[in-house]
Each structure stands twice: as structure tokens, then as C-alpha cells.
Amino acid sequence: MTITPEFIAKIPKTDLHVHLDGSLRLPTLIALARERGVKLPAYDEAGLYRKVFRKKYANLNEYLEGFAYTTAVLQTAAALERVGYELAQDNQAEGVRYIEVRFAPQLHQNANLTCIEAMAALNRGLGRAKYEFNGRPAVRSGAEPPFEYGIIACAMRMFDYGFSEYYDTLLRALAHSGRKEVFSLASQELVRAAVEARTRLKLPIVGFDLAGAEAGFPAEDHIQAYALAHKHFMNKTVHAGEAYGPESIFQAITDLHADRLGHAVYLFDADMIKSPEIKDKKAYVANLVQYVAERRITIEVCLTSNLQTNPAIRRLSDHSFGLMRKAKLSATFCTDNRTVSQTTVSAEILKAVRAFRITPHELKNFIIYGFKRSFFPGSYIKKRAYTHQIIDYYERIEKDNLKA
């Protein structure tokens, strides 16, 4: 059996790492910018692709520039609800059955919109798309698995004046405190809001993450927020995409209690180890990989995005996913940002299949990991039942594919 684009389109898929503000439909970005009077470098899709959302970027910071426009238009509950709804629909249209949408509520917080209102608005949009999709006869009869989702609340690793009204206010109020201290307070505040949204409003806030520029802003600055999330049984993931090597990944898993890792591109790079205490770097990496493998810490692999922000990775086949696969790590394919990276879940899978010659058996495992290692917003019993329904559906598609 060969894995064709048609097969990839049919199988149930997940996206466990997708940023709301990096995945807006461009016509929506343009419409919202006009509504709110936000200045864009272009008001047509071709112009925006040329000037902002490019195929290639020099580094992560350049990659992040487009987010200033998307967050500027997402300052109302109505806008958040709309993009949440559209993002879920775009995923449903390509056969993605489960998504975990992440966003930084504090980037959308202002005098007229609280952190919890921002989360509730996104949830309304996602919920409406779920309700519509699951109302179709094929899902209601049980012939097809339903669409499900969760929301991951991201704190910002760093922020400055101009990032959002909320951050401006916070920076002004704490003008005499060190920046690291302010970042830490903001992320702790977000965890508290997320816990409240989950318990009081029953919103499916399923996890906590850190987003934004990495270089110079280590995750350890947010150790208290992670401890707080851990204490409240909130799932945790940590971006380790650009600037962070094996030691930081170890720290993410141990000190920050990460259940999953975003990217972990440099997991195998002994040269990136800085601590003089680690004498045998090769052994350290081998032990770390063993640790990640044993605990089934799942890596959210974002191939296109990694190539765009790490120019050192020239070809897809040079990406460390090849080593992750060889080490039999738990990994799942994700988009990171559908618009900023100009990609889809299906495109990511197809790229991986072609570059690494993934077998049908392996692909099935990677897909199922996505469901199994999700931060599913329901009981473990329900999650298991859902995953079994997904596996049955997948196997039916496999059989049909063999017959065809």
C-alpha cells in the first residue's frame, strides 16, 4: 500500500500544536483590519503573502512579526469567536478530528475584554463549529467519529510595550521591577485565570504553554507558573524550538513537568550542551532520549515551521524527526501556524511521508499518538472510547484503500 494524498485526506487526524493568531484566514484578517482600522502592509492576499506571511524567514523573530497584525485585529470577543469558528471549520474540511488550539489570552486582553472572556469567546467559536459538524447524520449515526477540541492557554515568554493593552498596563504598574519578575507574575496570573475558567465556567482549557521569542528568554523564568499549573492538574507543554538544546529539554520535563514538547528540534544536539558539569555530552543525550522515550513524552513536530525558523536545517530530510523516528519516540505532526507557515495538517503529513519514507504502519502509529497523547477535555474513559472509535474508523479507511 502506498500513502497517497487522497488517503491522508480521508484518515482522522489531530493538530496538537496550532496557534490561533498564526492561523487566521487572510480574507478574515483583512476584513477585521478594515473594521477596526488596523493598518496592514497590504489589503490583498498576494500582497500579504509577499510582505508578511512568507515562505521563508531569517529566524524566529522575523517569523513572529506577522503576529503583531493578527493580534491587533483580535481584540474583541466577536473577532475571537469568528476566527475560532473558522479555524475549526478549516480543520474539519481536511479531515482533522481533534485540535488543541493555543493562544495567549493576555495578548487580547484590554479594558473591554477580560482574560476569561477572551477564552470564553474562542470557546464559543470552536464549540459552534463542533456542534454543526457533529450534527451531521454520519457522525450522529456513529459511522464517523465526532470532532473534538481543547484550548491551551499560552503565557508569553517575554513581552514589551506595544504587545497588548494588558501588558502595557502591567509594565507601567511594575516599572521598577525586573522584567523577568514581571514575566513570571503575568504567567502565574494566566494560570490562575485558566484554572478559574476551567472550574467556574467549565471551559475546556486543557493545557498550559509558553509562546513567543525564545532566544534569551528561558522557560525557567516561568517555573512558578508551571508549578502552579502542575498543582492544579493542568497539562503542560513547552516550546523548545529554536534556541534550546538537550539541557533545556531536560529542564522542561523535570522542573516544568512538561507532558509534551513543542518542536524539540535540538533534542539530539550534544554540541548545544552548555553546562561544564556535563562531561560526556553524548552519553547525556543518549540518557535524555531514553528518558523521553520511556515516559512517552510526546513531541509536537512542526516540520515546515522548523525549516522556516531554523535556516541551519536546509532540507527536510536533515530535520531531527529522522532521529526521533529511529529512536521510536512518540511524535505527532502539527502545523504550528496554518497561515504564517502556509500549511495544513495534510500537507505536513505528506511532506513527512515523502521526506522520510514513512511506512503505512508507522503513519498509523504517529496518527494514533496524536489522539492518545492529547490533553482530551474529558475523562480518561471517554478519551479511550474516542481513541478506539478513531482507530476503528482509520482501519476501515485502510481496508477500503486496499480494495480500491
Which residues belong to the active site? 242
Q: How far is the CB of 381 from Zn ion (least distance, A)?
A: 30
**Nearer Cβ to Zn ion (171/252):** 252
Strands (E), 56-116: 96-103
**Nearer Cβ to Zn ion (16/234):** 16
Q: Does 336 bind Zn ion (CB under 5 A)?
A: yes
Q: Give CA separation, 6 vs 3, 91, 370, 404, in Å.
A: 8, 16, 20, 12
Classify residue 297 by its DSSP letter: P
Q: How far is the CB of 219 from Zn ion (least distance, A)?
A: 13
**Nearer Cβ to Zn ion (126/240):** 240
Query: How far, in Å, CA of 111 to CA of 120, rounded?
Result: 16
Grid cell digits, residue 45: 492576499
- Distant-in-sequence, close-in-space partners of 137: CB < 8 Å, separation ≥ 6: none
Q: Identify the bridge partners of residue 332 per DSSP, sorted by sequence position.
A: 300
Comparing CA positions, the residue from 212, 280, 227, 219 lying closest to residue 244 is: 219
In contact, 73 and 113? CB cutoff 8 Å? no
Query: How far, in Å, CA of 251 to CA of 265, rounded?
Result: 15
Q: How far is the CB of 305 from Zn ion (least distance, A)?
A: 7
User: Shortest Cβ contact with Zn ion: which residue?
Assistant: 336
Pure H helices in 236-344: 246-254, 281-294, 303-309, 321-326
Q: How far is the CB of 294 from Zn ion (least distance, A)?
A: 25
Stretch that binds Zn ion, among 32-40, 45-53, 284-292, 330-338 (CB under 5 A): 330-338
Amino acid letter, residue 209: D
Q: Residue count of the chain, please give it.
A: 404
Stretch that binds Zn ion, among 62-70, 178-186, 328-336, 349-357 (CB under 5 A): 328-336
Residue bearing cell 483580535: 74
Q: How far is the CB of 65 from Zn ion (least distance, A)?
A: 15
**Nearer Cβ to Zn ion (343/387):** 343
Q: Which of residues 93-132 bind Zn ion (CB under 5 A)?
A: none
Q: How far is the CB of 239 from Zn ion (least distance, A)?
A: 6
In contact, 117 and 77? CB cutoff 8 Å? yes
DSSP assignments along 359-394, one per residue: -HHHHHHHHHHHHHTS--SS-HHHHHHHHHHHHHHH
**Nearer Cβ to Zn ion (23/76):** 23
**Nearer Cβ to Zn ion (15/336):** 336
In contact, 11 and 397? CB cutoff 8 Å? yes
- Determine the size of the site formed for Zn ion (CB under 5 A): 1
Name the site residues for Zn ion (rule: CB under 5 A). 336
